[in-house]
Amino acid sequence: MALALLALWLLSAGGSSLPQPLPRVFLSFEDLQASQSFEHYSVTDEAMDYRILHMDEDQDRMYVGCKDHVLSMDINNITHGTLKLFWPASTAKIDECQMAGKDPTHGCGNFIRVVQPYNRTHLFMCGSGAYSPVCVYINRGRRPEVGTPELAQNLVLISPSLER
């Protein structure tokens, strides 16, 4: 009995010396602007829908999926060494999308929705493909290349918006 109490006391005393997890920092956009410690980055003047990110700390890259583009940025300096891969929906799919009455500007593009590592040399990416989702394996190298697209009906939302 005394041994069990001693073990419990040691566990409780030792547990308090373990480092407690720290909460992630929350910073509002206004606070970020006021800090003047950020870089504004844009590919074009039109809306690009930058929502999908993947940090690759092994290669010091951040992959950004947006409308018709995949960006590969140097995480140490996003203003230098950014690679841009243009990956639009096919012309036929864009035409079909427009004939179906969808918004040609905000709905009939290839909105990148999945960016995940596949192996050491490739990323697996999926896009909305103008309401006809497609997935590809993309080379992680300094010259990204798009592989052969595969249909992705069950992997990606058909709509360019992330809401269901």
The CA distance from 141 to 136, in Å, is 15
Q: Which letter does DSSP use for residue 31 in this model? A: H
Q: Tell me which residue of 62, 64, 42, 46 sits closest to 114, measured CA to CA.
A: 64
Split at pLDDT 50, 70, 90, the class of 16 is low
- Read off the pLDDT of residues 126-145 as tens digits, 9 standing for 90 and up: 998 988 889 988 888 655 55
Mean pLDDT of 9-20: 59
Q: Is the pLDDT of residue 91 over 90?
A: yes
> Are 61 and 78 a contacting pair, CB within 8 Å?
no
In angstroms, the CA 114 to CA 53 distance is 9
pLDDT at 14 over 60: no
Task: Give tens-digit pLDDT for 92-107.
Answer: 999 999 999 998 878 8
Neighbours of 105 (CB within 10 A): 10
Which distant-in-sequence residues (6+ apart) come within 8 Å of 131 by Cβ? Answer: 93, 96, 97, 100, 102, 107, 108, 158, 159
In the predicted structure, residue 72 carries a pLDDT above the cut 70: yes
Q: 99 φ, ψ to 5°?
A: -65, -25
Residue 109 main-chain phi, psi, to 5 deg: -115, -175
pLDDT (mean) for 39-48: 67
Neighbours of 129 (CB within 10 A): 27
CA distance linking residue 154 with residue 134, whole number of Å: 10
User: Mean pLDDT over residues 83-93, rounded?
Assistant: 91
Share of the chain above pLDDT 70, in %: 63
